[in-house]
Amino acid sequence: MKKWLVRLTVALLLVVGGVAAAFVRLVRLAETPFQGYPSDRPALVELRSGLGPQAIGQRLIEAGIVRDRWTYRMAIWRTGQARHLQAGAYRFDRPLSAIEVIGKIARGEVDVLPLTFPEGLTIADMARVFEQSGLGSAASFADAARNASLVRALDPDAVDLEGYLFPDTYPLSRRADASHVVRLMVDRFLAVLTPEIRDAAQARGLTVRGLVTLASLVEKETAKPEERPVVASVYTNRLRLRMPLQCDPTVIYALQRAGRFDGNLRRDDLQYDSPYNTYRYPGLPPGPVAAPGLASLRAAAEPASTSYLYFVSRNDGTHAFADTLAEHNRNVEKFQVQYFRAKRLAEEREGR
């Protein structure tokens, strides 16, 4: 009997020792960095909403992020995060322990691609930026940007989302498609267009479409924050006096829509027949010619109080403003004719 008890005790000790050794080994494995995918490229894992801890573990194992199911289970047990794992796209580019992997997913550290759309871009420009990001084709973005229903409540006349895709930096999942990005941009625009801006525009007789259109002209004409309200005042004064706006960016936009712009605006182009050509047609163009930022929207809603009717580039990023045509012509002579004449002469001297 005693021998039997001794044998049983020894057997139990061996089993307990084996279990303890296995437990310690699993703990160490859960704490040891592992990489079962090629080191020369990151692993991307998409965890859909609704996946349970077991299914998530299987995805991680198949992707080479976690060694095996026992290591995964140990990490889940050690962290206590089984109910806190979050859906999303996760990027792994270095060895991590199973415990670190679980922590990353529990914190929701999804893979983010910051995509920046600068102010003053058209839909066509934005489509190229989107394609360059690797998220999808330019055509898919352009198609998504035709969904004018997203701004129907604000602008019943909109045929696309030109002007309503707010320029900003958007942190995106690498799985984001064009429709998702476009909706984010419209949502951002709706948040930026505050009741205060809308009320100020309405007080000046501008609809939302009129406000965004005027803001797009301001955005294309100057990048200087201090000049935006002044440029807006020039166009506001011209509209009040029923003078043609004579805004070059509207002609460029018309030519781009027709596929006729080669990067240079010529005198003959100012006669191009398009409702967007503000040299030929009075008032604002039919719609925005670019995406204005917040500063331009504010400037269009509340322009500076000036009597200016003209402005011309000084070729240094700023503009010279004038009340009269005579004063404007003197500015053109100084900052355009004489400037480019001197520049051409200097280039000829250097070429000798």
pLDDT, position 338:
85
Confidence band of 5 (pLDDT split at 50, 70, 90) = low
Mean pLDDT check: name the lowest of 71-85, 131-145, 218-232.
Answer: 71-85
pTM score over 0.85: no
Position with higher pLDDT, 43 vs 212: 212
Residue 80: how many CB atoms within 10 A of its CB?
10
pLDDT over 90, % of the chain:
74
Where do the structural domains in the chain lie, given as residue ranges?
A: 29-106, 112-192, 207-308, 309-352
pLDDT, position 188:
97
* Mean pLDDT value across residues 221-227: 94
Per CATH, is 29-106 categorized as 3.40.50.720?
A: no
CB 166 within 8 A of CB 297: no
Q: Return mean pLDDT, the chain.
A: 90
Tokens linked to 157: 């006349």
pLDDT, position 19:
53
Q: Give exposure, 214-240, as e/b (b: 16+ Cβ within 10 Å).
A: bbbbbbbbbeeeebbbbbbbbbbbbbe
pLDDT over 70, % of the chain:
92
For the domain made up of 309-352, the CATH class stated in words is alpha beta
- The three-class DSSP label of residue 313 is strand
* Packing angle of the helix pair 208-221, 195-203 (nearest 10 deg): 90
CB 112 within 8 A of CB 88: no
Confidence band of 14 (pLDDT split at 50, 70, 90) = very low
> Taking 70 as the threshold, does the pLDDT of residue 16 lie above it?
no
Q: What is the DSSP letter of 293?
A: -
CB 287 within 8 A of CB 163: yes
* Packing angle of the helix pair 2-31, 69-79 (nearest 10 deg): 80
